[in-house]
Structure 1
C-alpha cells in the first residue's frame, strides 16, 4: 500500500484529509490480521504514518505524490519455468491519462524503488497501464477496457493487437476480453476512464463476479446490463463459458457530486480472507458479504467502510497490491 500525502486527491479541508488518512489506515489494519503489510510512505508523512499505523505494518520511505498503489505500483508475476523468481511489471504510469489535477511523476518511479526491496526482477513496459485496469484468472485470461488501454491520452498509437501482445509478454495473458466501457462516474473528475476493477473480476477460473445496478434511475443500469451481455458472449482462455454472478450495487444512487460508482466487485483478496467494501447499508453490505463468501470458500470476509475511498476516485482494490509468495498456489 501507499500512505496518503497532502494534495488535490485528499481534499482541501483538515477534516477531509483526516478522513483520507483514516480510511487507508483502516484498510491496512484489516489486512494485517491476515498477512504482512508494507506501506510506502512519502518522507513528508513518515511521522504521521508512525503515529497512525500499527507497529506491525512495515514502513518504507519513498517519494510519492499519488497513493493508489494498485495503479502505479508493481504488478507482480511469477514464471513456471523459473521457480523462485519474482517479477515486477513496471507499467508506464501517467496519472490516468495526465489530467490537469493529477500529480504522478514521483509515484511513476515507485516500482524501481520497491522491486529491489523484495528481490523482484523488473519487467519494463512502455504501455501506459494501471493495475486497476486489468483483471486476470492466472490461466491466460485478461479483462481489459477499450477506454483505458486504447485511451489516446495514455497510448495514442496503440491498437488491440499491440496491447494484447504486451499483455502476453509481461503477464503471460494470451486471451484478452475487451469491454467497451466502464461505469459512469469513472469518466468524471477523479475517474480512471473505465477501470475494470469496479466492473468485473475473476474469483476463480471460469467464474465472473459482475457489478449489477438494478435501479433504472441510475445510468449504470444500462451499462452493467451491456457488460454482462458482452461477457456472457465470451469464453475464458480454456474455452469455458463463464459462470456469471451478479453482485448488486448498494441502494444509494447519488452523493453530493452525482451518481455513485459504489461497487462490491472492488475488493481485495488476502490469505484466508477478503477485504470488502462497505457502504453503510446493512442489507446490501450483508448480501455482498454472502456472495463474496460463496465466491471465495474458506475465506473470512471483512468489510471496511469504503465511502471515503470512493469519494476520492477508487476503492479498496485500488489502494492495495498483492505480492505472491513464491512456491505456493
Structure 2
C-alpha cells in the first residue's frame, strides 16, 4: 500500500472537504433521499480494471478507455479512482495523469463502480450518508469478493454513515428523479439470482425505502441475455422530474433489445410519477452503424455520466446519429457541454460511461 493519508484526511488534503459528516437525518417516513444525477457533485468515483481473469487480452484497451473517461471527467470535477494494489495504482496514475487521484486502499475486482460503489443520499440540510445495495456479482455471474465490500469501504473513506439496503441490486439497476420516483427493470431485481424468495411488492418496498422515494415504475426488461439482466440505465434515463429520455433502435431492428426498448418507451409514455405528472418522454435514436462487431456491444448514447458543467457520453462513428444525440442531450441539459468519447472497447464489455462511474453529491 502507498503511504498517502487515507480516508477523510486524504480528501481534505486533496479537495478541501469538510470534516466528517454525521449520518444523514431521516425524513418523517424514515429515509434519506438519493438525489438525481444532475445535482452538484463533490467528486466522481471510478475503479481501475486490472484482472486478466476477467478481461483477458482486452484488458489494455479497456484500461485506455477508463483512463480517457477519468481524464475527461477530471476536467470538470474531482475524480477518485480505486486500484486494487500498488502495481495497478502505478499503472492507473501513469495512464490517467496528475488530474486524477488514484488510491489503493479500496481494492476492487472490476471497473463497474456504478454497481459496486455506495449510493449516496442526502436530506437537504447538509446531511449525507451512503447505502450499499448488497452487490453479488450480478447474480453470482462474476468473482466479486472485493467488489462486494466497495460500498462500505467508500463510506468509511469519506467518513459517512452507512446502511445496507433491504434488497440485492446494483446502482445501474435503479434510476431516480430525486423527487420521489424511481424506475427499474423487473429482470434485474425481481430475479432469484439477486432476491430469491422475494416478490415484486417486497422488493419495491425495499427499493423505495433505500432511495427515499414514493413511487416505482417497473418495465419488464430482459433476463439472461447480458451480465446485468438488462439494467435500465442503458435505455431509459431521467432528465428531470417528469421528463425521461428513451433510446430507440432503427426501425428495421427486431431483436430482443429492440423490442425491450420499444416496450420501455410505451410503458413510460403512459406512466405518471410520484407527483401525479404524466411523464414526458424524449426519444433518442440509436446509431444505425457501429464500429464493433461484438454481440455484447452496448450502443447506448443514454449511458451518459452527468458531471459539473457537462454530459459525458459515447459516440459510435455514425455522424448523423452521433450529432442528433449530442443535440438532444444539449437541449435536455442546457448549460452543460456535451462531450462524446470513443470508448468502444469498454462498451464491448457490456457497459458504458455511466456504468463505470458513480457521483458523490455535495451535501
How does the TM-score come out when normalised to structure 1?
Answer: 0.91
Residues of 2 paired with 1:47 and 1:291: CA distance? 38
Q: Cα 1:73–1:250, aligned 2, differ >3 Å: closer, same or farther? A: same
How far does the alpha carbon of each residue in 1:233-255 deviate from its partner, in whole angstroms, 9 at most, with x for none?
21011111111111111112794
Match of 1:55 in 2: 98
| Contact 1:213/1:248, CA 8 A, preserved across alignment | yes
CA deviations on 1:147-188 (whole Å, 9 max, x unpaired) are 111111111112122122212221101100001115xxx843
Q: What is the alpha-carbon distance in structure 2 between the residues aligned to residue 117 and residue 136 of structure 1?
A: 25
The alpha-carbon deviation at position 57 of structure 1 amounts to: 1.1
Contact residue 297 and residue 349 of structure 2 kept, 8 A: no
1:6-45 mapped onto 2 (5 Å cutoff): 6-10=51-55, 12-13=56-57, 16-43=58-85, 44-45=87-88
Partner Cα separation in structure 1 for residue 93 and residue 304 of structure 2: 26
Alignment of 1:307-326 (within 5 A): 307-326=344-363
Q: CA RMSD in A?
A: 1.7
Q: CA deviation at 1:214?
A: 2.2
Per the TM alignment, residue 64 of structure 1 is displaced from its structure 2 partner at its CA by 1.4
Deviation of the 1:324 alpha carbon: 0.4
2:272 partner SS? coil
Could you tell me which residue of structure 1 aligns to residue 20 of structure 2? Answer: none
Query: Is 2:199 aligned against 1:163?
Result: no
- Per the alignment, do residues 213 and 6 of structure 1 end up closer, same or farther by CA in structure 2, a change over 3 Å counting? same
- Residues 33 and 253 (structure 1 numbering): CA distance in 2 closer, same or farther, change over 3 Å? closer
Tell me, yes or no, if the aligned pair for 1:253 and 1:259 is still in contact at 8 Å. Answer: no
Question: 1:261: Cα distance to partner?
Answer: 3.6
Query: Which residue of 255, 267, 274 maps to 1:230?
Result: 267
Cα distance in structure 2, aligned partners of 1:50 and 1:133: 30
1:259 to partner: Cα distance: 7.1
- Structure number with greater CO (CA < 8 Å, separation at least 6) is 2
Q: 1: CA distance between counterparts of 2:224 and 2:291? A: 15
- Secondary structure of the residue aligned to 1:210 is strand
Q: Is the 8 A contact 1:218 1:253 kept in 2?
A: no
Q: What is the aligned partner in structure 1 of residue 253 from structure 2?
A: 217
- TM-score, normalized by length of structure 2? 0.83
Does 2:48 correspond to 1:3? yes
Which residue of structure 1 aligns with residue 111 of structure 2?
A: 67
In the alignment of these two chains, the number of paired residues is: 315
What CA distance in whole angstroms lies between the structure 2 residues aligned with 1:116 and 1:259? 35
Deviation at 1:126, TM superposition (A): 4.0
Query: What is the aligned partner in structure 2 of residue 154 from structure 1?
Result: 194
| Counterpart residue number, 1:132 | 172
SS in 2 for 1:56: coil
Separation (CA, whole Å) in 1 of partners of 2:189 and 2:296: 24
Instruction: Say if 1:308 and 1:260 are closer, same or farther in 2 by CA, change over 3 A.
Output: closer
**Are the counterparts in 1 of residues 242 and 280 from structure 2 also a CA contact under 8 Å?**
yes
CA distance in 2, matches of 1:280, 1:79: 42
Segments of structure 2 that go 5 or more residues without pairing to the other structure are 1-45
